[in-house]
């Protein structure tokens, strides 16, 4: 069930992204190419899937919100392009492919990122299946999660923590902002789209928090035990770059235990949800057994 659900959603999302690209062929072909290169570079499409899955968990068909769901992939993609820039992480490869600035140059990479971020809000605002009140709520969720208090703020802390030993609490806060906030926005947006009540929203938010934590810990574990070809980047780069991670601050064993704890808490937060939340439960199990 798990695999086919994900595959079906991934296919739908890729199809939708392609459609948006064709409709919105930008003013400038080179810009459109640069945007599309990173948007279609693969990836698990986890964030849009989470939007749809949260709606599903509340008994509302998440696929009704397919187009709007892709907006968060625009935000995620822009953040990857900017993170990879020479002034930031200076990465040459991402998912086994050359990074955006390596192919299109730094200037176009910066601008492609800017345009992707901007387009995310356009996609939500111009959606035809969702009412204005709901759109405004979702734009609020996404902008808070992506901005200075969320993803961008987390990235600044990450940069400033380089070559510094930080404690596990700071590490947690940094990831909660850098990657966790956008996972939260995804789940909460799906819940809002499905008309969740306060309690449902709180439970799904807790799920998202634990999900984000489990996701990040597994990322750190994969950097040590992963297969270079499968994860698409060199193994052991965190240690080489003196990065504080759940593994380097503890051990492989302690990191695995923390990840399992997060998975258990995530599932516990779904106790009031019935069969409809089966995918969300399966997804956190998959998270800590994934190999990329």
Lookup: tokens for 202: 């709180």
Buried b (16+ CB within 10 A) or exposed e, 155-187: bebbeebeeeebeeeebbbbbbbbbbbbbbbbb
Write the binding mask 158 to 197 for a second copy: x where contact by CB under 8 A, - elsewhere.
-xx----------------x--------------------
Does position 118 interact with a second copy (CB under 8 A)? The reply is yes
Residue 46 corresponds to which tokens in the numbers above? 């986890």
Minimum separation from the CB atom of position 104 to a second copy (A): 10
By CB under 8 A, is residue 119 in contact with a second copy?
yes
Q: Which of 19, 92, 149, 167 binds a second copy (CB under 8 A)?
A: 149
Q: Under the criterion CB under 8 A, does residue 28 sit at the interface with a second copy?
A: yes
Q: Which of 157, 202, 235, 288 binds a second copy (CB under 8 A)?
A: 157
Rg for the chain, CA atoms, rounded: 18
CB of 122 to a second copy, least distance (A): 4
23 binds a second copy (CB under 8 A): no
Is 247 a residue that touches a second copy (CB under 8 A)? no
Interface map 29-48 toward a second copy (x if CB under 8 A): -xxx--x-------------
Minimum distance from residue 81 beta carbon to a second copy (Å) = 11
Instruction: Please pick, from the candidates 156, 201, 249, 282, the single residue that binds a second copy as defined by CB under 8 A.
Output: 156
Q: Which of residues 79-108 bind a second copy (CB under 8 A)?
A: 82, 85, 87-88, 105-108
* Residue among 10, 98, 125, 249 that touches a second copy (CB under 8 A): 125
- Residue 19 in the binding site for a second copy (CB under 8 A): no
If binding means CB under 8 A, how many residues of this protein chain bind a second copy?
54
Cβ 148 to a second copy, closest distance in Å? Answer: 4
Judged by CB under 8 A, does residue 152 bind a second copy? yes
Q: Is 122 in the site for a second copy (CB under 8 A)?
A: yes
State how far the Cα of 101 lies from the Cα of 110, in Å rounded to an integer: 8
Binding-site ranges for a second copy (CB under 8 A): 24, 26-28, 30-32, 35, 78, 82, 85, 87-88, 105-108, 110-111, 113-115, 117-119, 121-122, 124-126, 131-133, 135-136, 139-140, 142-144, 146-150, 152-157, 159-160, 177
């Amino acid at each position: 069930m798990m695999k086919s659900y994900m595959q079906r959603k991934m296919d739908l999302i890729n199809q939708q992204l392609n459609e948006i690209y064709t409709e919105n062929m930008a003013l400038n072909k080179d810009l459109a190419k640069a945007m599309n290169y990173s948007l279609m570079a693969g990836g698990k499409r986890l964030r849009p899937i989470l939007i749809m899955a949260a709606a599903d968990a509340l008994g509302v068909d998440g696929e009704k919100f397919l187009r709007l769901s892709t907006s968060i992939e625009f935000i995620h993609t822009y953040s990857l392009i900017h993170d990879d820039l020479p002034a930031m992480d200076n990465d040459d490869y991402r998912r086994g492919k050359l990074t955006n600035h390596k192919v299109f140059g730094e200037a176009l990479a910066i601008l492609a990122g800017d345009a992707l971020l901007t387009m995310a809000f356009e996609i939500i605002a111009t959606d035809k299946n969702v009412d204005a009140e709901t759109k405004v709520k979702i734009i609020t969720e996404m902008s808070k999660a992506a901005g200075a208090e969320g993803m961008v703020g987390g990235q600044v802390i990450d940069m400033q923590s380089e070559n510094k030993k930080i404690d596990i609490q700071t590490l947690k806060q940094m990831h909660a902002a850098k990657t966790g906030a956008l996972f939260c926005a995804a789940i909460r947006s799906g819940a809002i789209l499905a008309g969740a009540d306060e309690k449902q929203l709180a439970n799904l938010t807790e799920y998202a928090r634990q999900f984000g934590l489990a996701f990040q810990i597994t990322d750190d574990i994969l950097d040590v035990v992963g297969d270079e070809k499968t994860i698409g980047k060199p193994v052991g780069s965190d240690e080489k770059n003196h990065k504080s991670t759940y593994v380097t601050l503890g051990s492989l064993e302690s990191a695995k235990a923390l990840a399992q704890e997060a998975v258990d808490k995530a599932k516990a937060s779904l106790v009031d949800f019935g069969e409809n939340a089966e995918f969300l439960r399966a997804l956190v199990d998959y998270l800590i057994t994934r190999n990329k």
